[in-house]
Amino acid sequence: MVAGLTNGELIAPMTYEEMMTSDFFEVWFQKFFLPTLTTPSVIIVK
């Protein structure tokens, strides 16, 4: 699963069955994660 966490809540969760590739992550980040942010945010990738 890949997801964001804000105020203790998961945002833009997505499950995947294969290995996470950089292409998959980039698409998820741009099309699913970023649109959920409504205010300026600090993003930490761990």
Cα–Cα distances in Å, from 17 out to 20, 21, 35? 9, 11, 24
pLDDT of residue 46 exceeding 90, the answer is no
12, 3 contact by CB (below 8 A): yes
10, 3 Cβ separation under 8 angstroms = yes
* pTM score of the predicted model: 0.81
pLDDT, one tens digit per residue, over 6-31 is: 989 999 999 999 999 999 999 999 99
| Domain residue limits, the chain | 2-36
What's the residue count for the chain? 46
